[in-house]
Amino acid sequence: MAAGAPAPRAAPVTFDTRLGGLTWLALKGFLLSLVTFGIYRFWYVTNLRRFFWSRTALDGSPAEYTGTGKELFLGFLVALAILVPIYLGLFAVSLLAPAIAPFSVVVSFVFLFLLGQFAIFRGRRYRAMRTLWRGIRLGQDGSALAYAARAGGWWLLTLWTFGLAFPFMRASLERYRVNHTLVGTSRMTSTARGRSVLGPWLTLYAVGLGPLIALLVALLVAADFSLPDDLLVPKPGGKPGETVFNPAYAGSNIGLIAELGGYVAAVCVPAALLLIPYYRARETRAFMNAASLGTARLVSTLRARQFYWPYIVYMLSVLGFLIVLGAVGALLVFAAQSAGGVSVVHWAVILVYLVGGPLFAVLYVRVVQARLWAAVAASAAVADPEALEAVVASARGAGSGLQEGLADALDVGGALQIGI
Protein backbone atom coordinates (compact mmCIF):
# COMPACT_ATOMS: atom_id res chain seq x y z
CA MET A 1 0.00 0.00 0.00
CA ALA A 2 1.24 3.41 -0.85
CA ALA A 3 1.82 5.59 2.16
CA GLY A 4 -0.13 8.56 0.78
CA ALA A 5 -3.19 6.55 -0.25
CA PRO A 6 -6.54 8.25 0.40
CA ALA A 7 -9.00 6.74 2.85
CA PRO A 8 -8.59 3.01 2.34
CA ARG A 9 -11.51 1.26 0.69
CA ALA A 10 -13.71 -0.84 2.94
CA ALA A 11 -15.65 -3.63 1.27
CA PRO A 12 -19.13 -3.92 2.77
CA VAL A 13 -20.80 -7.16 3.68
CA THR A 14 -24.31 -7.05 2.29
CA PHE A 15 -27.37 -9.10 2.90
CA ASP A 16 -30.38 -9.06 0.62
CA THR A 17 -33.26 -8.30 2.96
CA ARG A 18 -36.07 -8.80 0.47
CA LEU A 19 -36.16 -12.44 1.62
CA GLY A 20 -38.29 -13.50 -1.37
CA GLY A 21 -39.20 -17.16 -1.11
CA LEU A 22 -38.18 -17.54 2.53
CA THR A 23 -41.77 -17.87 3.76
CA TRP A 24 -42.50 -20.73 1.40
CA LEU A 25 -39.16 -22.36 2.21
CA ALA A 26 -39.81 -22.23 5.96
CA LEU A 27 -43.43 -23.31 5.62
CA LYS A 28 -42.56 -26.22 3.37
CA GLY A 29 -39.66 -27.19 5.60
CA PHE A 30 -41.81 -27.14 8.72
CA LEU A 31 -44.70 -29.08 7.25
CA LEU A 32 -42.56 -31.69 5.51
CA SER A 33 -40.50 -32.17 8.67
CA LEU A 34 -43.72 -32.81 10.50
CA VAL A 35 -44.97 -35.31 7.94
CA THR A 36 -41.66 -37.16 7.62
CA PHE A 37 -41.18 -37.62 11.38
CA GLY A 38 -38.45 -34.97 11.33
CA ILE A 39 -36.29 -36.59 8.67
CA TYR A 40 -36.86 -33.77 6.19
CA ARG A 41 -35.24 -31.33 8.64
CA PHE A 42 -31.80 -32.08 7.19
CA TRP A 43 -32.94 -30.94 3.75
CA TYR A 44 -34.77 -28.01 5.29
CA VAL A 45 -31.63 -26.88 7.11
CA THR A 46 -29.65 -27.25 3.89
CA ASN A 47 -32.15 -25.13 1.96
CA LEU A 48 -32.12 -22.49 4.69
CA ARG A 49 -28.36 -22.30 4.60
CA ARG A 50 -28.27 -22.08 0.79
CA PHE A 51 -30.77 -19.24 1.06
CA PHE A 52 -28.82 -17.27 3.66
CA TRP A 53 -25.37 -17.97 2.25
CA SER A 54 -26.36 -16.92 -1.28
CA ARG A 55 -27.82 -13.64 -0.02
CA THR A 56 -24.77 -12.69 1.99
CA ALA A 57 -22.16 -11.07 -0.18
CA LEU A 58 -18.69 -9.83 0.63
CA ASP A 59 -17.26 -7.27 -1.78
CA GLY A 60 -20.05 -8.05 -4.24
CA SER A 61 -19.49 -11.81 -4.32
CA PRO A 62 -22.03 -13.93 -2.45
CA ALA A 63 -21.05 -16.97 -0.47
CA GLU A 64 -21.94 -20.43 -1.71
CA TYR A 65 -23.15 -23.33 0.41
CA THR A 66 -22.41 -26.71 -1.10
CA GLY A 67 -23.61 -29.02 1.65
CA THR A 68 -26.45 -31.45 1.01
CA GLY A 69 -29.26 -32.82 3.08
CA LYS A 70 -28.08 -36.33 2.41
CA GLU A 71 -24.74 -35.64 4.07
CA LEU A 72 -26.45 -34.27 7.16
CA PHE A 73 -28.78 -37.24 7.30
CA LEU A 74 -25.96 -39.78 6.99
CA GLY A 75 -24.00 -37.90 9.64
CA PHE A 76 -27.02 -38.12 11.91
CA LEU A 77 -27.29 -41.88 11.36
CA VAL A 78 -23.60 -42.36 12.15
CA ALA A 79 -23.98 -40.22 15.27
CA LEU A 80 -26.91 -42.39 16.34
CA ALA A 81 -24.74 -45.46 16.00
CA ILE A 82 -22.26 -43.80 18.37
CA LEU A 83 -24.79 -42.33 20.79
CA VAL A 84 -27.14 -45.28 21.25
CA PRO A 85 -24.48 -47.49 22.89
CA ILE A 86 -23.41 -44.50 25.02
CA TYR A 87 -26.95 -43.84 26.21
CA LEU A 88 -27.52 -47.53 26.86
CA GLY A 89 -24.20 -47.71 28.69
CA LEU A 90 -25.07 -44.75 30.91
CA PHE A 91 -28.43 -46.34 31.65
CA ALA A 92 -26.90 -49.73 32.42
CA VAL A 93 -24.27 -48.17 34.71
CA SER A 94 -26.90 -46.34 36.73
CA LEU A 95 -28.93 -49.54 37.00
CA LEU A 96 -26.22 -52.10 37.65
CA ALA A 97 -24.00 -50.09 39.98
CA PRO A 98 -26.31 -48.59 42.60
CA ALA A 99 -23.31 -47.01 44.32
CA ILE A 100 -22.75 -44.84 41.24
CA ALA A 101 -26.43 -44.23 40.61
CA PRO A 102 -26.64 -40.91 42.52
CA PHE A 103 -23.73 -39.59 40.46
CA SER A 104 -24.88 -41.03 37.16
CA VAL A 105 -26.91 -37.91 36.38
CA VAL A 106 -23.82 -35.75 36.93
CA VAL A 107 -21.60 -38.15 35.00
CA SER A 108 -23.92 -38.26 32.02
CA PHE A 109 -24.38 -34.50 32.10
CA VAL A 110 -20.63 -33.83 32.09
CA PHE A 111 -19.98 -36.45 29.46
CA LEU A 112 -22.78 -35.27 27.17
CA PHE A 113 -21.71 -31.64 27.68
CA LEU A 114 -18.16 -32.40 26.53
CA LEU A 115 -19.51 -34.46 23.66
CA GLY A 116 -21.72 -31.51 22.75
CA GLN A 117 -18.73 -29.15 22.62
CA PHE A 118 -16.90 -31.72 20.50
CA ALA A 119 -19.91 -31.84 18.20
CA ILE A 120 -20.15 -28.05 17.96
CA PHE A 121 -16.57 -27.81 16.72
CA ARG A 122 -17.05 -30.64 14.23
CA GLY A 123 -20.28 -29.08 12.99
CA ARG A 124 -18.47 -25.79 12.44
CA ARG A 125 -15.82 -27.65 10.44
CA TYR A 126 -18.51 -29.14 8.23
CA ARG A 127 -20.11 -25.75 7.57
CA ALA A 128 -16.73 -24.16 6.85
CA MET A 129 -15.79 -26.88 4.39
CA ARG A 130 -19.10 -26.54 2.57
CA THR A 131 -18.70 -22.77 2.19
CA LEU A 132 -17.18 -21.25 -0.91
CA TRP A 133 -16.42 -17.62 -1.68
CA ARG A 134 -15.28 -16.73 -5.17
CA GLY A 135 -14.65 -20.42 -5.65
CA ILE A 136 -12.30 -20.59 -2.67
CA ARG A 137 -13.24 -23.22 -0.12
CA LEU A 138 -13.15 -22.38 3.58
CA GLY A 139 -11.86 -24.91 6.06
CA GLN A 140 -11.10 -25.57 9.66
CA ASP A 141 -8.30 -27.51 11.29
CA GLY A 142 -7.60 -27.96 14.96
CA SER A 143 -8.85 -30.73 17.15
CA ALA A 144 -12.42 -31.08 18.35
CA LEU A 145 -11.10 -33.01 21.35
CA ALA A 146 -8.84 -30.12 22.33
CA TYR A 147 -11.73 -27.74 21.87
CA ALA A 148 -14.01 -29.83 24.10
CA ALA A 149 -11.27 -30.04 26.76
CA ARG A 150 -10.81 -26.25 26.66
CA ALA A 151 -14.52 -25.65 26.88
CA GLY A 152 -14.79 -28.04 29.83
CA GLY A 153 -11.90 -26.40 31.66
CA TRP A 154 -13.19 -22.91 31.04
CA TRP A 155 -16.66 -23.82 32.25
CA LEU A 156 -15.16 -25.19 35.46
CA LEU A 157 -13.25 -21.94 35.94
CA THR A 158 -16.40 -19.95 35.20
CA LEU A 159 -18.31 -21.88 37.84
CA TRP A 160 -15.52 -21.43 40.38
CA THR A 161 -15.44 -17.67 39.81
CA PHE A 162 -19.25 -17.44 40.07
CA GLY A 163 -19.50 -16.54 36.39
CA LEU A 164 -16.93 -13.73 36.36
CA ALA A 165 -14.65 -15.64 33.98
CA PHE A 166 -17.45 -16.02 31.43
CA PRO A 167 -16.30 -13.34 28.93
CA PHE A 168 -12.74 -14.66 29.07
CA MET A 169 -14.02 -18.14 28.30
CA ARG A 170 -16.03 -16.81 25.36
CA ALA A 171 -12.99 -14.95 24.03
CA SER A 172 -10.67 -17.92 24.46
CA LEU A 173 -13.01 -20.30 22.65
CA GLU A 174 -13.60 -17.69 19.94
CA ARG A 175 -9.85 -17.38 19.42
CA TYR A 176 -9.51 -21.15 19.15
CA ARG A 177 -12.32 -21.34 16.61
CA VAL A 178 -11.24 -18.41 14.46
CA ASN A 179 -7.52 -19.18 14.62
CA HIS A 180 -8.27 -22.59 13.16
CA THR A 181 -10.44 -21.23 10.39
CA LEU A 182 -8.95 -21.24 6.93
CA VAL A 183 -9.94 -19.42 3.79
CA GLY A 184 -8.20 -21.33 1.07
CA THR A 185 -4.68 -21.63 2.42
CA SER A 186 -4.84 -18.42 4.47
CA ARG A 187 -5.50 -18.68 8.14
CA MET A 188 -7.81 -16.33 9.95
CA THR A 189 -6.64 -14.82 13.21
CA SER A 190 -8.58 -13.47 16.12
CA THR A 191 -7.34 -11.14 18.82
CA ALA A 192 -10.57 -11.44 20.81
CA ARG A 193 -10.01 -10.49 24.45
CA GLY A 194 -12.28 -11.09 27.39
CA ARG A 195 -11.52 -7.53 28.51
CA SER A 196 -13.33 -6.12 25.48
CA VAL A 197 -16.67 -7.61 26.59
CA LEU A 198 -16.06 -7.39 30.32
CA GLY A 199 -18.10 -4.18 30.61
CA PRO A 200 -21.31 -5.53 29.04
CA TRP A 201 -20.89 -8.77 30.96
CA LEU A 202 -20.46 -6.98 34.28
CA THR A 203 -23.58 -4.94 33.54
CA LEU A 204 -25.53 -8.12 32.95
CA TYR A 205 -23.86 -9.68 35.97
CA ALA A 206 -24.51 -6.80 38.34
CA VAL A 207 -28.14 -6.51 37.35
CA GLY A 208 -29.11 -10.10 36.77
CA LEU A 209 -26.81 -12.71 38.24
CA GLY A 210 -24.77 -11.04 40.96
CA PRO A 211 -27.54 -10.41 43.52
CA LEU A 212 -28.81 -13.97 43.17
CA ILE A 213 -25.35 -15.49 43.56
CA ALA A 214 -24.56 -13.21 46.49
CA LEU A 215 -27.79 -14.21 48.22
CA LEU A 216 -27.06 -17.88 47.63
CA VAL A 217 -23.62 -17.48 49.17
CA ALA A 218 -25.13 -15.55 52.07
CA LEU A 219 -27.66 -18.32 52.56
CA LEU A 220 -24.88 -20.90 52.65
CA VAL A 221 -22.86 -18.84 55.11
CA ALA A 222 -25.88 -18.28 57.35
CA ALA A 223 -26.52 -22.01 57.31
CA ASP A 224 -22.84 -22.84 58.01
CA PHE A 225 -22.54 -24.41 54.54
CA SER A 226 -25.03 -27.15 55.32
CA LEU A 227 -28.50 -26.26 54.18
CA PRO A 228 -31.10 -27.72 56.54
CA ASP A 229 -33.20 -30.45 54.98
CA ASP A 230 -36.43 -29.11 56.38
CA LEU A 231 -36.26 -25.70 54.70
CA LEU A 232 -39.32 -26.68 52.68
CA VAL A 233 -42.07 -28.57 54.46
CA PRO A 234 -45.32 -30.03 53.11
CA LYS A 235 -48.02 -27.40 52.99
CA PRO A 236 -50.41 -28.03 55.87
CA GLY A 237 -53.74 -29.07 54.44
CA GLY A 238 -52.39 -28.72 50.92
CA LYS A 239 -52.11 -31.25 48.18
CA PRO A 240 -49.40 -33.89 48.48
CA GLY A 241 -46.18 -32.67 46.97
CA GLU A 242 -47.05 -29.05 47.61
CA THR A 243 -44.49 -27.37 49.83
CA VAL A 244 -44.21 -24.09 51.68
CA PHE A 245 -41.30 -22.42 53.36
CA ASN A 246 -40.83 -23.84 56.84
CA PRO A 247 -42.33 -21.25 59.27
CA ALA A 248 -39.81 -22.35 61.90
CA TYR A 249 -37.16 -20.38 60.00
CA ALA A 250 -39.30 -17.28 59.58
CA GLY A 251 -37.41 -15.09 62.06
CA SER A 252 -33.88 -16.37 61.49
CA ASN A 253 -31.21 -15.10 59.10
CA ILE A 254 -31.82 -18.04 56.83
CA GLY A 255 -35.50 -17.22 56.62
CA LEU A 256 -34.85 -13.55 55.87
CA ILE A 257 -32.32 -14.34 53.17
CA ALA A 258 -34.55 -16.95 51.55
CA GLU A 259 -37.48 -14.55 51.56
CA LEU A 260 -35.35 -11.77 50.12
CA GLY A 261 -34.12 -14.22 47.49
CA GLY A 262 -37.68 -14.70 46.26
CA TYR A 263 -38.19 -10.97 45.69
CA VAL A 264 -34.74 -10.45 44.17
CA ALA A 265 -35.27 -13.32 41.75
CA ALA A 266 -38.55 -11.81 40.62
CA VAL A 267 -36.65 -8.68 39.54
CA CYS A 268 -33.29 -10.09 38.52
CA VAL A 269 -34.31 -12.97 36.27
CA PRO A 270 -36.39 -10.81 33.88
CA ALA A 271 -33.69 -8.12 33.97
CA ALA A 272 -31.03 -10.66 33.04
CA LEU A 273 -33.18 -11.99 30.21
CA LEU A 274 -33.69 -8.47 28.91
CA LEU A 275 -29.95 -7.79 28.93
CA ILE A 276 -28.92 -10.96 27.10
CA PRO A 277 -29.45 -9.50 23.59
CA TYR A 278 -27.40 -6.46 24.63
CA TYR A 279 -24.51 -8.65 25.74
CA ARG A 280 -24.79 -10.83 22.65
CA ALA A 281 -24.68 -7.79 20.36
CA ARG A 282 -21.66 -6.31 22.12
CA GLU A 283 -19.85 -9.64 22.09
CA THR A 284 -20.56 -10.23 18.43
CA ARG A 285 -19.27 -6.75 17.56
CA ALA A 286 -16.14 -7.07 19.67
CA PHE A 287 -15.29 -10.53 18.37
CA MET A 288 -15.92 -9.60 14.76
CA ASN A 289 -13.70 -6.55 15.10
CA ALA A 290 -10.99 -8.83 16.43
CA ALA A 291 -11.04 -11.16 13.41
CA SER A 292 -8.73 -10.69 10.46
CA LEU A 293 -7.36 -12.51 7.47
CA GLY A 294 -3.84 -11.33 6.76
CA THR A 295 -4.09 -7.56 6.72
CA ALA A 296 -7.78 -7.61 5.84
CA ARG A 297 -9.73 -6.86 9.00
CA LEU A 298 -13.40 -7.32 9.79
CA VAL A 299 -15.05 -4.15 11.04
CA SER A 300 -18.45 -4.28 12.72
CA THR A 301 -20.65 -1.37 13.77
CA LEU A 302 -23.39 -3.55 15.20
CA ARG A 303 -25.79 -1.74 17.55
CA ALA A 304 -27.44 -3.50 20.45
CA ARG A 305 -30.88 -2.23 19.42
CA GLN A 306 -30.57 -4.20 16.19
CA PHE A 307 -30.60 -7.34 18.33
CA TYR A 308 -33.63 -6.23 20.33
CA TRP A 309 -35.86 -5.32 17.44
CA PRO A 310 -36.33 -8.85 16.00
CA TYR A 311 -37.22 -10.25 19.41
CA ILE A 312 -39.66 -7.41 20.11
CA VAL A 313 -41.40 -7.92 16.77
CA TYR A 314 -41.56 -11.66 17.36
CA MET A 315 -42.93 -11.26 20.89
CA LEU A 316 -45.56 -8.82 19.69
CA SER A 317 -46.60 -11.25 16.95
CA VAL A 318 -46.86 -14.09 19.46
CA LEU A 319 -48.83 -11.84 21.81
CA GLY A 320 -51.19 -10.83 19.01
CA PHE A 321 -51.70 -14.45 18.07
CA LEU A 322 -52.45 -15.37 21.67
CA ILE A 323 -55.01 -12.57 21.97
CA VAL A 324 -56.75 -13.68 18.78
CA LEU A 325 -56.51 -17.23 20.04
CA GLY A 326 -58.05 -16.30 23.38
CA ALA A 327 -60.95 -14.59 21.65
CA VAL A 328 -61.54 -17.48 19.26
CA GLY A 329 -61.12 -19.97 22.11
CA ALA A 330 -63.66 -18.19 24.29
CA LEU A 331 -66.05 -18.10 21.37
CA LEU A 332 -65.57 -21.81 20.73
CA VAL A 333 -66.03 -22.75 24.38
CA PHE A 334 -69.20 -20.71 24.39
CA ALA A 335 -70.36 -22.46 21.23
CA ALA A 336 -69.38 -25.83 22.67
CA GLN A 337 -71.35 -25.19 25.84
CA SER A 338 -74.44 -24.26 23.93
CA ALA A 339 -73.96 -27.20 21.58
CA GLY A 340 -73.24 -29.51 24.49
CA GLY A 341 -70.09 -31.18 23.22
CA VAL A 342 -66.63 -30.72 24.64
CA SER A 343 -65.03 -32.42 21.63
CA VAL A 344 -65.30 -29.08 19.84
CA VAL A 345 -62.66 -27.79 22.23
CA HIS A 346 -60.40 -30.72 21.34
CA TRP A 347 -60.75 -29.84 17.69
CA ALA A 348 -59.97 -26.23 18.52
CA VAL A 349 -56.74 -27.26 20.25
CA ILE A 350 -55.73 -29.32 17.23
CA LEU A 351 -56.55 -26.37 14.99
CA VAL A 352 -54.36 -24.10 17.12
CA TYR A 353 -51.45 -26.51 16.69
CA LEU A 354 -52.03 -26.74 12.96
CA VAL A 355 -52.24 -22.96 12.53
CA GLY A 356 -49.94 -21.77 15.30
CA GLY A 357 -47.13 -24.24 14.60
CA PRO A 358 -46.45 -23.26 10.99
CA LEU A 359 -47.16 -19.62 11.74
CA PHE A 360 -44.56 -19.40 14.48
CA ALA A 361 -42.05 -21.51 12.56
CA VAL A 362 -42.24 -19.10 9.63
CA LEU A 363 -42.29 -16.01 11.86
CA TYR A 364 -39.26 -17.21 13.78
CA VAL A 365 -37.21 -17.75 10.64
CA ARG A 366 -38.35 -14.53 8.96
CA VAL A 367 -38.34 -12.21 11.93
CA VAL A 368 -35.75 -13.47 14.38
CA GLN A 369 -33.24 -15.48 12.37
CA ALA A 370 -33.29 -13.41 9.20
CA ARG A 371 -33.21 -10.06 10.99
CA LEU A 372 -30.43 -11.06 13.36
CA TRP A 373 -28.44 -12.41 10.45
CA ALA A 374 -29.11 -9.24 8.46
CA ALA A 375 -28.09 -7.03 11.41
CA VAL A 376 -24.77 -8.82 11.83
CA ALA A 377 -24.03 -8.96 8.10
CA ALA A 378 -25.10 -5.45 7.16
CA SER A 379 -23.15 -3.82 9.99
CA ALA A 380 -19.92 -5.55 8.95
CA ALA A 381 -17.30 -4.52 6.44
CA VAL A 382 -13.81 -5.58 5.51
CA ALA A 383 -11.04 -3.03 5.85
CA ASP A 384 -8.20 -3.41 3.35
CA PRO A 385 -10.13 -5.88 1.14
CA GLU A 386 -7.29 -5.90 -1.42
CA ALA A 387 -5.52 -8.29 0.93
CA LEU A 388 -8.30 -10.79 0.29
CA GLU A 389 -7.16 -11.07 -3.32
CA ALA A 390 -4.03 -12.78 -2.11
CA VAL A 391 -6.10 -15.69 -0.83
CA VAL A 392 -5.12 -18.87 -2.66
CA ALA A 393 -7.34 -21.92 -2.95
CA SER A 394 -6.30 -24.96 -1.00
CA ALA A 395 -5.66 -28.34 -2.57
CA ARG A 396 -7.49 -30.22 0.15
CA GLY A 397 -10.89 -31.67 -0.57
CA ALA A 398 -14.24 -30.87 0.88
CA GLY A 399 -13.75 -33.24 3.80
CA SER A 400 -16.11 -35.73 5.33
CA GLY A 401 -19.78 -34.98 5.13
CA LEU A 402 -20.58 -36.81 8.35
CA GLN A 403 -19.18 -34.27 10.76
CA GLU A 404 -22.29 -32.37 11.69
CA GLY A 405 -24.47 -35.35 12.55
CA LEU A 406 -23.35 -35.55 16.15
CA ALA A 407 -24.34 -31.93 16.75
CA ASP A 408 -27.79 -32.63 15.37
CA ALA A 409 -28.24 -35.82 17.36
CA LEU A 410 -27.15 -34.05 20.54
CA ASP A 411 -29.31 -31.07 19.69
CA VAL A 412 -26.50 -28.53 19.93
CA GLY A 413 -25.69 -25.89 17.36
CA GLY A 414 -28.38 -25.05 14.86
CA ALA A 415 -29.16 -24.34 11.27
CA LEU A 416 -27.75 -20.84 11.29
CA GLN A 417 -25.25 -19.45 13.68
CA ILE A 418 -24.90 -15.73 14.02
CA GLY A 419 -21.35 -14.42 14.00
CA ILE A 420 -18.34 -16.23 12.65
Applying CB under 8 A, which residues contact other proteins?
16, 18, 30, 32-41, 43, 50-51, 53-55, 57, 60-62, 64-65, 68-70, 76, 80, 84, 87, 94-96, 98, 101, 133-136, 183-184, 237-241, 341-342, 353, 357, 361, 388-393, 408-409, 411
> Is 53 or 314 the residue whose CB approaches other proteins more closely?
53
Q: Are 261 and 248 in contact (CB under 8 A)?
A: no
String of DSSP letters for 30-61 = HHHHHHTTTTTHHHHHHHHHHHHHHHEEETTE
> Is 129 or 391 the residue whose CB approaches other proteins more closely?
391
- Minimum Å gap between C-beta 408 and other proteins is 7
- Minimum Å gap between C-beta 378 and other proteins is 14
Cα distance between residue 312 and residue 209, in whole Å: 23
- Minimum Å gap between C-beta 305 and other proteins is 26
- Helix ranges restricted to H, 130-165: 144-160
- Minimum Å gap between C-beta 124 and other proteins is 19
- Radius of gyration, alpha carbons of the chain: 26
- Minimum Å gap between C-beta 134 and other proteins is 4
> Is 4 or 237 the residue whose CB approaches other proteins more closely?
237
> Is 10 or 39 the residue whose CB approaches other proteins more closely?
39
- Minimum Å gap between C-beta 220 and other proteins is 27
> Is 138 or 257 the residue whose CB approaches other proteins more closely?
138
Cα distance between residue 139 and residue 187, in whole Å: 9
- Minimum Å gap between C-beta 181 and other proteins is 15
Cα distance between residue 109 and residue 165, in whole Å: 21
Distances, alpha carbon 354 to alpha carbons 72, 233, 284, 362, in Å: 27, 43, 36, 13
Closest CA to 313 of 373, 269, 366, 359: 366
> Is 266 or 342 the residue whose CB approaches other proteins more closely?
342
Q: Is the alpha carbon torsion for 271, 273, 274, 279 positive or negative?
A: positive
Cα distance between residue 155 and residue 314, in whole Å: 31
> For residue 282, what is the enclosing H or E element?
helix 253-289
- Minimum Å gap between C-beta 401 and other proteins is 12
- Minimum Å gap between C-beta 286 and other proteins is 26
Pairing of strands 56-58, 186-190: unpaired
> Is 86 or 269 the residue whose CB approaches other proteins more closely?
86
- Three-state DSSP string of 209-265: HHHHHHHHHHHHHHCCCCCCHHHEEECCCCCCCCEEECHHHCCCHHHHHHHHHHHHH
> Is 70 or 396 the residue whose CB approaches other proteins more closely?
70
Cα distance between residue 8 and residue 137, in whole Å: 27
> Is 187 or 193 the residue whose CB approaches other proteins more closely?
187
Q: Measure CA of the first residue to CA of the last residue in the chain; give whole Å.
A: 28
